[in-house]
Amino acid sequence: TPVVGVLALQGGVIEHMRAVESLGARAVKVRAAEDLVDAAGHPRINALILPGGESSTVDRLCRTFGLFEPLRDAIRGGLPTLGTCAGLIMLSSRIQDPAPGQRSLGVLDVTVNRNAFGSQVASAEVDLPWLGPANDVVGPDDHLRAAFIRAPEVTRAGQDVEVLAKHGDAVVAVRQGNVLGISFHPELMGDTTLHRLLLDDAARHLTQHG
């Protein structure tokens, strides 16, 4: 059974753990570097979720708990990772409108506008057509059911970044290698498509790396 670590410093942790468990995987909370790798240096998790919340708070707590570099190194090392909302902001290489002193992990080559979707769509629920490649989990006729809560927008995506979904003209779901970043909250809508994609990646990663 794949083990999925959910960063549990702040924000929507439980919903992601339930989504992962509903798919038959094991969910564990990540609160310290030791939750990522054991004393012998072996990975403890096969995939990682950075939930929504408040990205500047998550950033600050990551640094307080000594998790910033270990998270960055694990993701750079190929750990399949899904960041939602504040999690997407944490993954980004640049934040257009950071809070004072706010940093991001820089593992996804995008610029984000942290508060692009303001109060007018504060709790919008929409169906987004899938724009990514067809695979076993999701195909061209499929939709993602999304809730937007003070959501960020991807305002620049690097050459190696695939666009998976847009909301109007705004890019709201992307992938670069092992890293998935989305603006919205599928876990609040009972949509497990992205979690299934993550587990698919984790299974592939497991067979390649033992």
Q: Give the residue numbers marked as catalytic.
A: 85, 185, 187
Instruction: Check binding of 73 to ligand GLN (CB under 6 A).
Output: no
Nearer to ligand GLN, 111 or 115 (CB): 115
Instruction: Check binding of 55 to ligand GLN (CB under 6 A).
Output: yes
Question: To the nearest whole angstrom, how small is the minimum distance from the Cβ of residue 100 to ligand GLN?
Answer: 13
Report the 10 Å Cβ neighbour count for 181: 31
Quote the strand ranges of the chain, DSSP E.
3-7, 26-30, 47-50, 81-84, 92-95, 108-113, 124-129, 143-148, 153-157, 162-167, 170-176, 179-182
**Comparing C-alpha atoms, which of 118, 97, 133 is closest to residue 170?**
118
Instruction: Check binding of 83 to ligand GLN (CB under 6 A).
Output: no
Q: Which residues of 40-58 are buried (b: 16+ CB within 10 A; e: fewer)?
A: eeebebbbbbbbbbbbbeb
Instruction: Check binding of 54 to ligand GLN (CB under 6 A).
Output: yes
Instruction: Check binding of 96 to ligand GLN (CB under 6 A).
Output: no
Quote the strand ranges of 43-105, DSSP E.
47-50, 81-84, 92-95
How many residues touch ligand GLN (CB under 6 A)?
12
Pick one of 93, 111, 115, 193: the residue that binds ligand GLN (CB under 6 A).
Answer: 115
Instruction: Check binding of 146 to ligand GLN (CB under 6 A).
Output: no
Nearer to ligand GLN, 121 or 149 (CB): 149
Binding residues vs ligand GLN (CB under 6 A)? 52-55, 85-86, 89, 114-115, 149-150, 152
